[in-house]
Amino acid sequence: MKIAIATDHVGIELKPIIIDYLNELGHEVVDFGPQSTERTDYPLYGKKVAVEVIEKRVDAGILICGTGVGISISANKVKGIRAVVCSEPYTAKLSKEHNNTNILAFGSRVIGSELAKMIVKAWLEAEFEGGRHANRVNMISEIEEEFLF
Ligand code: RB5
């Protein structure tokens, strides 16, 4: 898979570890920054990766900030994005199987690098189950259409 990754200045410490791990798993990674630990703003990076995913230049996105919350909320503002924040692999797996998430987020202040790798692996290996879950995911899209003002 081709995977876009970005962080903020807090999440950046985990980024090289996750990039190396993704490469080890055989994935191609595109790094959307930042490239320094200088203080920055997570919405910039959540949006960048969300746009890459929605415009289909990558197959999936991974975002890291302090908690994973701000950067995932930002990504979720882009129509069609379903970003999940995970602190354990079970939610990561189910979020793909049931909710067809297209971006995974986590917090560098919340989890360590080994748990982050387990979460990434669980998320990437899981597949959307469709069926009754597809109807619910379509209902999420309908909410987006309902509030276009
Ligand atoms: C930055 O201080 C921090 O707010 C950010 O990394 C993240 O945790 C936001 O949700």
Q: What is the pLDDT of residues 100-125, one digit of tens each?
A: 999 999 999 999 999 999 999 999 99
Structure confidence at residue 149 as a pLDDT band (50, 70, 90): confident
Per-residue pLDDT, 130: 97
Angle (deg, nearest 10), helices 42-54 and 69-76: 40
- For the chain, give the percent of residues with pLDDT over 70: 100
The residues annotated as belonging to the active site are 65, 98
* 111: containing domain: 2-146
Residue 148 has pLDDT above 90, yes or no: no
Average pLDDT over residues 7-35: 98
- List Cβ neighbours of 148 (8 Å cut-off, separation of 6 or more): none
pTM for the full predicted model = 0.98
Domain count, the chain: 1
- The preferred substitution site among 67, 77, 87 for testing ligand 1, maximizing ligand atoms within 8 Å of CB, is 67
**Ligand 1 contact, 42 CB (< 6 A):** yes
Of residues 90 and 147, more confidence is placed in: 90
Q: Whose CA is nearest to atom 10 of ligand 1?
A: 70
Cα 24 to Cα 137: distance, rounded to the nearest angstrom: 31
**CA-closest candidate to residue 10, choices 85, 71, 78, 73:** 71
Q: Whose CA is nearest to atom 6 of ligand 1?
A: 66
Q: What is the CATH number of the domain that holds 73?
A: 3.40.1400.10
Residue position matching structure tokens 């410490």: 13
Spacing, Cα 139 to ligand 1 middle (Å): 30
Spacing, Cα 54 to ligand 1 middle (Å): 24
Runs of H (alpha helix) within the chain: 15-24, 42-54, 69-76, 89-97, 113-125, 132-146
Of ligand 1's listed atoms, the one at least distance from the Cα of 109 is 8
**Ligand 1 contact, 65 CB (< 6 A):** yes
In a 13 Å sphere around the CA of 20, the CA atoms on its Cβ side amount to 7
- For the chain, give the percent of residues with pLDDT over 90: 98
Per-residue pLDDT, 131: 95
Mean pLDDT of the chain: 98
